[in-house]
Structure 1
Amino acid sequence: MNKELKSNRRDFLKIAATAGGGLLIGFNWSACDSPKMKVISDEEIYDKAINFNSFLSISPSNHVVIFSPNPELGQNIKTSFPMIVAEELDVDWSNVRVQQAFLDTEKYDRQVTGGSGAMPHSWQRLREAGATARQLLMEAAAKRLNVPMSELTTDKGNVIYGSKKLNYGELANEASTLPVPENVQLKSVKDFKIIGTPVKNVDNDAMFTGQPLYGLDVYRDGMLHAMIQRPPFGMKLKSVNSDEAKKVKGVKDVLTFKDNVAVVGEGTWPLIKARRLLNIEYEPIDKALESTAFHNRKFDEMLNSGKAEVKRKDGDVDTAFKNAARVIKSEYQCPFLSHSPMEPMNFFAHVKEDSVELIGPSQTPDRARKAAAEICGIAPEKVSVELTRLGGGFGRRLRADFVEEAVELSKMLKAPVKLTWSREDDITGGAYRPAVKYRFEAALNSKDELIGYKLCGVGMNSGNSTRENNFPAGAIDNLEISSMEYNSPITTNAWRAPITNFLAFAEQSFLDEVAEAIGKDPVQFRLDLLDKAKSKPVGEIQYDIDRMKGVITTVAEKSGWGKKQGVSQGFSVYFSHRSYVAQVAEAKIVEGKAVLDKIYAVTDCGIVINPTGADQQVRGGMLDGMGHAMFANLTFTNGVADQKNFDSYRLIRMKEIPEIETHFIDNGIDPTGLGEPALPPTGGAVANAIYKVSGQRLRNQPFMNEEGMKNINLGNPV
């Protein structure tokens, strides 16, 4: 059974699309029938609420306050976490109030947003939190009514006995004094009332009306503003003349620390003007400054060196290739990418005599706390961290460098400081998606059977540039996956769906090349490999064969794979972050040009908590994967990024977004990751569709830089 959500162009409000590629999308919530939900700060409700556990409180007015501990950066966790608690509590959702929890490592595990791991980690904990409170309330009602608890039921925040009804608010005091049960009964999936229903984002009203939610909104009386000029990668500060900068009205001071030059003042605009007047001289740290041309040469040298570290080896690879009737070889390469979230890096820090107050957007608040404690020489317990909503992150805010800068400045100035990065700071001084190059080889015998497979990857500060245990590992008798790393002063970081964001495109494109070479349908080729992995597995298999086959067969059915006239279809499937996504992209010729027209996506992420949020996660991941594969490119000259803002760092534009149709596999298993898995397969589906319609095989990103792409119109003509 599939839960289906089809694209409707009227659901999207085309608010703005700048000439430089900036994009702002608003969802038309009037087209959605999900219940209304508000985040409020009603002191009466919060002050009188009775705590049942770390996740929830119940007020005498029968309002339930649910605390959402994890950072919210658009993955909808601030809505979906409370939905799970409310489900097991069996409360009326309209009576729920959601509060963002502060960092508290004693109350909460894994207050982190990254790796699409929040839901799999917290699913059981959240259910138990709600179920425990529900059982206590039922025990309190049983005592008051002097009846067996087995004769009671609950519904929408009430305990019911026959015609009698007691709401949770009037039972809260009594229930909170009872011993906490060791074992609680969780609901059956078939009895869910909230989970699986479309619920609006709890921050919608605040976002739509411009209420303070984000780090950039933070304000404290007496705080100073700060902006920093950082050195190019591979360089250090030699000298600075700040005389002219200090003359700008509103500038208080110019400070240097750790090769950085900080301008401090009353607001960001004076600081932006003052930074332009700084006269700074840098010098190399210890070696020549790096440029993109150097990186490209280095990748080739390393791939040809034969010095890669073997990560997995099955069978006799050398013999398979030696005896092959023919060998197919291809190389795929991708550039650095900026995370470029809508909200640039920022943070508020107030270093006091023996404590630190931190407020801002962080994916890893405990890392921020520990960094601040180390800088100030105090215990981490003396550092408080208040989380704001994140205006995007995609992995960039896993780091704490911007928090450390704010703390350093507050400590030096002995004052509260709000540090703000400009868009140019964010693109030129960020921690990027690593540049990577892959070399693939496939050995075929005289019967055009795949008998050998090699993948060697070289990445820039990537750790391991491959995922050696992912499909097609386990389905090929002779397989070798190897990797090597080039260490660069250009800082890199996890970028949405780390490693797989490009690897999936390369693998899925190469598998299509192999399928074409042996004359097999691309979808059937992968299904045959999966059948072989199930019947005659080779080595360890770390993916679920049946779940992967499930998304493949479903997307083939939904897209009418191979049955349509007038369109060319490209296929891709990938497993990452515990979930499975298969996609079919469709392209056609319009006025002599190839046009990307539609993409189908089928996702298996287990139980879908909130269909509205899940649908948007899949669409957002696909847009991310599609747009960056087609357009985004970050190059370097002497340690400095050539692209500095959205006028030169190209993002996808509204008119270039094709129709998207999403489907979800309803298999009833516990939720798996969803924030990232839809991104990896998108590039492969798009590239394979473009090849089918145009004959242009795309092996390098961004696609628009490939030869022959002038006859490709990636925008939807409608």
Structure 2
Amino acid sequence: MSTITREGRRDFLKIVGTTAGGLFIGFNWSSCDSPKVEVLSTEEVLAQVKNFNAYLSIAPSGDVVIYSPNPELGQNIKTSFPMVVAEELDADWSKVRVIQANLDTEKFDRQLTGGSGAMPHSWERLRKAGATAKYVLVAAAAQTWNVPAEEITVESGIISHKESGKSGHFGEFVEVASTMSAPEEVTLKDKKDFKIIGTPVKNVDAKEIYTGKPMYGLDFYREGMKHAMIQRAPFGMKIKSMDDGAARGVSGVTDVVTFGNSVAVVGTSTWPLLKAKKLLRIEYEADGNVESTADHDRIFKDLLENGKADVRRKDGNVDKAFKTAAKVVEAEYQCPFLAHSPMEPENFFAHVQGDRCELIGPTQTPDRARQTAAQILGIPPENITVEITRLGGGFGRRLRADYVEEAVEVSRAINGPVKIVWSREDELTGGAYRPAVRYKFSAALDNAGNMIGYKLKGVGMNAGNTTRENNFPSGAVENVLIESISYDSSITTNAWRAPITNFLAYAEQSFLDEVALAAGKDPVQLRLELYEKAKNNPVGELGYNVNRMIAVTKEVAEKSNWGKNPNVKQGLSVYFSHRSYVAQVADIEMDGGSPTLKRITAVTDCGMVVNPTGANHQVRGGIVDGMGHAMYTNLTFENGVPKQKNYDSYRLIRLKEVPEINTHFLDSGFDPTGLGEPALPPTGGAIANAIFAATGRRLRSQPFIEQKEFSDIKLEIKRT
């Protein structure tokens, strides 16, 4: 059993009160001391929710409600959060529901979605809330029945006393429970006693999604609001002159607004705005670097050879290791820009009214939206409200607030409510992208094929550090040098699902297979040998748990029957990111004379799995996303403008191109860790290494289908 002491209770119980005869419990997400107990009616609760952090409420009917602070974009926290509360509460799951909370930085200390951090951050807080509610309900039942609390049991929302034969549901005790004080310490369940956590549960929003209920930003509508669409300047350019006469003449257009290097057409609906935007006559001129993909290729190569690098890690004597090496392996890997491509393009509602502003829409960082609006308007942030809708995808794109800024600017200009809507072309041409990156790897081997030296130099855009210097194989090699170079680009870049590691994992894991080949070792053998070195004789700081790396590697080798079928060519990739460990093996078989990608086997250690259904979806989604972008997707620029403007030229993976995916989970005994991102990074490396095993062709650039090494390979993809 786990026990939370007085010292660990500061973010524990916020409010105990009644809601029209119901129990209302709030719990603090930001480690504030609990206030005195308050009695609240339902009307008072609805009027005063801004005064609390997050809430667990129990109605007289026995219904349990939790307000979830983190934006939901498909990572399933609106389902997994209440599962955790219900577990400790021993609630009847059919009576549990969750409501999205609006922005309130006084109540929530991490009200954002990013970095796969929602569950790791909230795990213990949610458990404490459920356990606290259970404690006061049991105390209330004990007082009502005049029996010892330790003789009372709770199961599926029913409180029972076996000796007296008395029982009742939660709602029958909420009025008495509201008079109870928070305990000095609360006991959490032993994980072996979990009944809800670890069971497959459907998405709590599933019915609303498949029946088309308005949940997303694009669904939002308010009587009297205007619509707006934006024409943005190419990257590195600014507006020189503009003629909006033809655009203003379109029926349904009510205004044209210019701000910064953007022009907004405003009207009664989006259809006339699409036409009007095309009629804008805008002349641009250079305002800094106007970049093209050909320039980036040249610049990156030059920076790798001659650029001043930031040393991120240096262990041992690297120069000596390479001078005395029996063999040196070198390779360069590169990746292109990528767009985030959420299913729901950017949109946001804003209503500026004097020194106040109302914001509604899909954002991963609601406080950034508020701070951006406050800066534009010159008003206090507390004068701005942010209502968070469900997000139709994000993948890092909605960490930014540029589209919120546009909504605020237009609302202020027209002095009224407006909703900004981006088209798919806007999303691809005016976005913030996964930056292009180029890496150079070097490995020094001794006569026995052991890696005695390792070097990595990365060049990225607007990125600062392009590496993860404490990730494997750092710590497993005596002599290591890791360097990073950042190129300042006029093209806006942004975190893209599993930032940095989304490509670095592919490059590192592919290069490790090159090292294994040069050393005459099996790829699994090479990695296990390096893990043992890091475990028994680590060099410097380890940014990963070696035992967990070993476990997922061995498990994926077993689950995939690694090396046991000579007719199956396999590729391995193992990576740690966002607190979790994922190993993948891709299988290629010859089918009708063509290499065929048949399956991907994945083993994930994300600590305890709260909801197997959601976890399975996250891993599968990450693999499909990682595979599609590694194999097919490319975004190139010419004179500051993306050449790919819609899905006819920006190639995404198709359903028929998804192979069989087998998922497995290891319970390492740790609390839940990240899962929205960690399954993506290993996928490209597993597939590339399998392609090499099958064809002898090494793919060092993405997307694979555009590489000359891949041009005559007819790779089929089939699901069994």
Q: TM-score range with shorter-chain normalisation?
A: over 0.9
Q: How does 1:433-444 map to 2 (within 5 A)?
A: 433-444=434-445
Q: How does 1:232-381 map to 2 (within 5 A)?
A: 232-287=234-289, 289-305=290-306, 307-381=308-382
CA contact (8 A) 2:498 2:677 kept: yes
* Contact 1:88/1:134 (<8 A) preserved: yes
Residue identity matched to 2:100:
Q
Q: CA deviation at 1:594?
A: 1.6
Letter in 1 for 2:445: L
Separation (CA, whole Å) in 1 of partners of 2:60 and 2:285: 65
Distance in 2, matches of 1:166 and 1:49, equals 14
Who is 1:37 aligned against?
none
> Comparing 632-641 with 410-419, which one deviates more in the overlay?
410-419
Distance in 2 between residues matched to 1:625 and 1:295, nearest whole Å:
23
Aligned to 2:200: 198
**Structure 2 vs 1, CA of residues 717 and 191 (structure 1 numbering), >3 Å: closer, same or farther?**
closer
Match of 2:24 in 1: 51
Tell me the CA shift for residue 111 of structure 1: 0.8
- Cα distance in 2 for partners of 1:103, 1:717 equals 44
* 8 Å CA contact 2:331, 2:442 repeated in 1: yes
**Structure 2 residue aligned with 1:703:** 704
- Give the AA of the match of 1:241: D
Letter in 2 for 1:398: L
Q: Given the alignment of the two structures, is residue 137 of structure 1 paired with residue 110 of structure 2, yes or no? A: no
**Structure 2 vs 1, CA of residues 47 and 99 (structure 1 numbering), >3 Å: closer, same or farther?**
farther
Residue identity in the other structure for 1:481: I
CA offsets 1:236-273 (integer angstroms, 9 cap, x no match): 11111111111111111111001110000011111001
Question: 1:655: how far off?
Answer: 1.1
Alignment partner, residue 93 of structure 1: 93
Which residue identity lines up with residue 76 of structure 1 in the other structure? N
In structure 2, C-alpha distance between the alignment counterparts of 1:450 and 1:101, rounded to whole Å: 52
Q: Shift in Å at residue 461 of structure 1?
A: 1.1
Please state how far the C-alpha of 1:182 moved relative to its aligned partner.
3.3
Task: Find the residue that maps to 2:187 and give its secondary structure.
Answer: coil
1:389 aligns with: 390
Asked if 1:475 is matched to 2:476, the reply is: yes
Q: Could you say what secondary structure the match of 1:533 adopts?
A: helix
**Alpha-carbon deviation of 1:714?**
4.2
Give me the whole-angstrom Cα distance separating, in 1, the residues matched to 2:564 and 2:161: 58
Distance in 2 (alpha carbons) for counterparts of 1:565 and 1:478: 36
1:176 to partner: Cα distance: 1.9
Q: Could you tell me which residue of structure 2 aligns to residue 69 of structure 1?
A: 69
Q: Which residue of 1 aligns with 2:177?
A: 175
Give me the whole-angstrom Cα distance separating, in 2, the residues matched to 1:430 and 1:49: 47
Structure 1 match to 2:537: 536
Within 2, Cα distance between the matches of 1:462 and 1:519? 36
Name 1:219's counterpart in structure 2.
221
- In the TM superposition, 1:399-418 aligns within 5 A as 399-418=400-419
Regions of 4+ moved over 4 Å: 45-49
What residue in structure 1 maps to residue 154 of structure 2?
154
The alpha-carbon deviation at position 107 of structure 1 amounts to 2.1
State the shift of 1:48 in Å. Answer: 6.9
Distance 1:413 1:427, change over 3 A: same
What does residue range 466-505 of structure 1 map to in structure 2 within 5 Å?
A: 466-505=467-506
Offset of 1:134 from its aligned partner? 1.0
State the 1:286 CA deviation. Answer: 2.9
Measured on the aligned residues, the alpha-carbon RMSD in Å equals: 1.3
Q: Supply the distance in 1 between the matched residues of 2:550 and 2:498 (Cα, whole angstroms).
A: 21
Could you tell me how far 1:98 is from its partner in structure 2?
1.5
Report the alpha carbon displacement of residue 65 of structure 1 after superposing the two structures with TM.
1.2
What is the rounded CA distance, in whole Å, between the counterparts of 1:448 and 1:545 in structure 2? 22
C-alpha distance 437-131 of structure 1, shift in aligned 2 (>3 A): same
Residues 657 and 241 (structure 1), Cα distance of their counterparts in 2 relative to 1, 3 Å cut: same
Change over 3 Å in CA distance of 1:95–1:708 after alignment to 2:
same
Determine the structure 2 residue equivalent to 1:638. 639
- Contact 1:595-1:717 at 8 Å conserved across structures: no
How far 1:306 sits from its partner (Å)? 5.2
> Could you tell which deviates more after superposition, 100-109 or 482-491?
100-109
Alignment deviations for residues 338-393 of structure 1 (CA, whole Å, 9 cap, x no partner):
00100000001111233211111000001111111222222212211111110000
Q: How far apart are residue 326 of structure 1 and its match? A: 2.1
AA partner of residue 373 (structure 1): A
Letter of the 1:165 partner, please give it.
S
Query: Is the alpha carbon distance of 1:692 and 1:527 closer, same or farther for their aligned partners in structure 2, counting shifts above 3 Å?
Result: same
What's 2:596 paired with? 595
Contact 2:350 2:418 in 1 (8 A): yes
Which secondary structure does the structure 1 equivalent of 2:186 belong to? coil
Aligned to 2:584: 583
Higher relative contact order (CA 8 A, sep 6+): 1
Q: CA deviation at 1:47?
A: 7.4
CA contact 1:189–1:668 (8 Å) conserved in 2 = no
1:621 aligns with 2:622: yes
**Deviation by residue 1:206-246 (Cα, 9 ceiling, x = unmatched):** 11011101000000110000000000000011111111111
Segments of 5+ residues of structure 1 without an aligned counterpart are 1-44
What is the TM-score normalised by the length of structure 2? 0.92
Between the aligned partners of 1:103 and 1:157, the Cα distance in structure 2 is 31
Tell whether the 8 Å contact from 2:442 to 2:455 is kept in structure 1 after alignment.
yes
The alpha-carbon distance between structure 1 residues 701 and 714, as it changes in their structure 2 partners (threshold 3 A), is farther
1:25 is aligned to: none
Shift of residue 717, structure 1, vs aligned partner:
6.7
Q: Could you tell me how far 1:534 is from its partner in structure 2?
A: 1.1
The answer on whether the counterparts of 2:21 and 2:175 sit within 8 Å (CA) in structure 1 is no
Counterpart CA distance in 2 for 1:307 and 1:296 is: 18
Do the aligned partners of residues 361 and 305 (structure 1) sit closer, same or farther apart at CA in structure 2, a change above 3 Å counting? same
Contact 1:633/1:650 (<8 A) preserved: yes
1:459 deviates by: 0.3
Alignment of 1:506-545 (within 5 A): 506-545=507-546
State the match for 2:658 in structure 1: 657
Alpha carbons 2:356, 2:379 under 8 Å: kept: yes
- Of 295-304 and 592-601, more deviation after overlay is shown by 592-601
Q: How far has the Cα of 1:136 moved from its partner?
A: 1.1
Deviation at 1:150, TM superposition (A): 1.1
How many residue pairs align between the two structures?
673
Identity of aligned residues (%): 65
Give the alignment's TM-score, normalised by structure 1: 0.92
Query: What corresponds to 2:48 in structure 1?
Result: none
CA distance in 1, matches of 2:99, 2:294: 50
1:565 Cα deviation after fit: 3.5
Distance 1:56 1:312, change over 3 A: same
Contact 2:699/2:709, CA 8 A, preserved across alignment: no
2:47 alignment counterpart: none
* Aligned partners of 1:334 and 1:702 also within 8 Å: yes
Gaps of 5+ in 2: 1-17, 27-53
Find the aligned partners of 2:287 and 2:259 in 1 and give their Cα distance: 16
* Helix, strand or coil at the partner of 1:662: strand
Tell me, in whole angstroms, the C-alpha distance in 2 between the residues paired with 1:468 and 1:606.
24
Counterpart residue number, 1:4: none
Q: Would you say the 8 A contact 1:433–1:493 is kept in 2?
A: yes
Amino acid at match of 1:90: D
2:51 — aligned with what?
Answer: none
Q: Deviations over 1:529-564 (max 9, x none)?
A: 000111111111121000010000000000000001
